């Protein structure tokens, strides 16, 4: 035999990216199936001393449309824990604040918490259909509001984009999206919340059922809309307030 044949496993249902409906997200039961499988895939990598570094819906492969079996893919940016990572040429919403803060010539020691943060953002995206912020930096108002809310002793009231979650879901996401990298919980921590509801019921009058707070819509005033909504067509685009578009299907360049 004088030649080789390379084959790859087929993901007939495409990627998780294709399922997300703009400003709606996915059904909660589907999100939970994804959360369980992705968390275990990431934990397996972390146990092997590896960090994925590029977790996003485009890199989650589907064996079926209902996400009963999914697989994590695209390991082009994967590196060993302890490797030095420099600043990126551009910032995407899944990047952790410690990565976003890197300047030219600065390096970060790679650790699993980078994947943990991206996992938290991914769960937010597939639950809601939009991003919690554009970039995890202080100049981003949505991110700044999140940090201020998390720093408040009472954590009340949450920013607008967080009001459709139950208290349990907020706790779960907050544990993944902790500012202090050393305080982030393991990706497997989401398994503790699978038996709790994640999305609150919101009625037309603005009152959120099952929460310890309520949202009241003031007539004549527009509520702040999510800073980044996922378009239905492929590739996914993030529409920024400045009418700038960033293709999320593109690779992160070093």
Residue 88 is encoded by which pair of tokens?
């990126």
Among the options 2, 54, 145, 180, which is catalytic? 54
| Residue 48 φ/ψ, nearest 5 degrees | -85, 5
End-to-end CA distance of the chain: 40
Q: Considering only CA atoms, which of 223, 202, 198, 199 is closest in space to residue 214?
A: 202
CA distances from 6 to 3, 9, 63, 92 (A): 10, 10, 20, 32
54 is catalytic: yes
In three-state secondary structure terms, 51 is strand
Cβ atoms of residues 115 and 46 within 8 Å:
yes
Q: At what angle do helices 167-176 and 113-128 cross, to 10 degrees?
A: 150
Query: What value, to the nearest 5°, has the Cα angle with vertex 217 and ends 215 and 223?
Result: 95
Catalytic residues: 54
């Amino acid at each position: 035999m004088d030649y080789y044949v390379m084959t790859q496993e087929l993901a007939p249902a495409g990627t998780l990216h294709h399922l997300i409906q703009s400003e709606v997200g996915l059904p909660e039961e589907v999100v939970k199936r994804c959360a369980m499988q992705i968390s275990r895939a990431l934990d397996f990598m972390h146990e092997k001393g590896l960090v994925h570094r590029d977790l996003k819906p485009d890199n989650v492969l589907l064996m079926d449309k209902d996400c009963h079996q999914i697989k994590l893919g695209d390991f082009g940016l994967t590196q060993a824990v302890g490797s030095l990572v420099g600043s990126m040429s551009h910032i995407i919403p899944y990047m952790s604040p410690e990565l976003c803060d890197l300047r030219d010539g600065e390096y970060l020691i790679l650790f699993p918490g980078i994947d943990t943060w991206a996992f938290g953002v991914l769960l937010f995206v597939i639950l809601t259909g939009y991003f919690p912020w554009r970039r995890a930096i202080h100049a981003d108002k949505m991110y700044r509001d999140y940090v201020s809310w998390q720093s408040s002793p009472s954590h009340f009231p949450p920013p607008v984009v967080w009001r459709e979650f139950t208290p349990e879901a907020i706790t779960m996401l907050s544990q993944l999206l902790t500012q202090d990298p050393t305080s982030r919980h393991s990706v497997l921590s989401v398994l503790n919340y699978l038996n709790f509801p994640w999305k609150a019921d919101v009625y037309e009058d603005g009152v959120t059922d099952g929460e310890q707070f309520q949202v009241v819509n003031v007539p004549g005033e527009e509520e702040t809309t999510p800073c980044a909504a996922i378009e239905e067509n492929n590739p996914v685009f993030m529409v920024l307030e400045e009418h700038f578009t960033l293709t999320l299907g593109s690779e992160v360049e070093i």
